[in-house]
Homo-oligomer: A and B are copies of this chain.
Amino acid sequence: MHKVGYIGLGLMGAPMARNLMKAGYQLVIHNRSRGIVDQLAAEGATPAFCPREVAEQVDVVFTNLPDSPDVERIALGPEGIIEGAHAGLIFVDNSTIKPETARHIARELARAGVPALDAPVSGGEIGAKAGTLTIMVGGPEEAFEAVMPLFQAMGKSVTRIGDSGAGQVAKCANQTIVAAQMAGMAEALVLAQKSGVDPRKVVQAISKGAAQCWALDTKPDRIFRRELTPGFKAYMQHKDLNIVLETGNIYGVPMPVTATIQQLYRAMLATGNENLDNSAIITVLEALAGVVVGGE
């Protein structure tokens, strides 16, 4: 398995595609905007005109796109991957999309003889560049094993969760917990600040106990310095929580805490802060309380 396609060369897709090239795979690429295609072509990748053309030339075709409708169109639409279906082709989607959409795409591609894996990732741009992503996979075992060497070129923790859609459900769980950490930390720090207590001291005191979490380990220093650039953008966190809540709606799972947090991310979008880091949800709580954490 030597020829690999990658469609969607954004902040995540481009470094993931580069890691496949570094691992020795011959890459065929496609992307809406041209700049990154030219860059990767200069590094040895072969551009293709449309997703169909990519699929026709490769053994495994990856997608990494913003949202559910994008993946559905690229996989199943006109000039899409399904039109380039051939014996031996495997489809892998690294996007974060609705589990239901992943299952629909997998069903349609299976009819065309193409096994599909949903394989969303966690770890951000840094993890994508370093090849240290967490990859959560749903889909047929056999396809998963065939693609494993490629996953290992992009991630350090690769888990098959279950059948089609299960990777996306795991990503939903991940994003639910990440959002809860960010919101809980934000409310805690704003409370400390406004009640006249140094939030730096609070973090120092509580960060090794039961409050310990990834958010508290990595974000407070940046918040105190007001370095709120991403990281992981708030509008992506908002989009991912949309997916979580829609999935909850489909399966009948009330999620009152996540729904509340989602409203706070919506406030970030409404006030033009959608491109800040997801930890910058604290700016919403600060605005509600009329205080800035880390100030005097």
Contact = CB atoms under 8 A, between A and B. Distances in A.
Contacts of A289: 252-254
Nearest to A198: B162
Contact of A179 (B123, B184, B189, B190): B184
A252 B99 CA distance: 40
Given A214-B211, A260-B260, A161 B205 contact: yes
Interface stretch (A17-25, A81-89, A106-114, A164-172): A164-172
Q: Chain A interface residue count: which class?
A: 35 or more
B185 A177 contact: yes
Contacts of A184: 176-177, 179-181, 184, 257-258
Q: For the complex, would chain A's binding face be called helix, strand, loop or mixed by DSSP majority?
A: helix
Contacts of A176: 184, 187-188, 191
Given A178-B210, A213-B181, A170 B197 contact: yes
Contacts of A257: 180, 183-184, 187, 257, 260-261, 264
Nearest to A193: B253
A285 B181 contact: no
Interface stretch (A43-51, A139-147, A243-251): A243-251
Given A210-B174, A256-B263, A169 B195 contact: yes
Given A170-B197, A191-B173, A247-B191, A209 B134 contact: yes
Interface in A244-296: 244, 247-248, 250-258, 260-261, 263-264, 285, 288-291
A134 B206 contact: yes
Nearest to A100: B195
Contacts of A122: 206, 209-211
Contacts of A170: 192, 197, 201-202, 205-206
Nearest to A195: B251
Interface string A118-162: 000011100000000010101000000000000000000101111
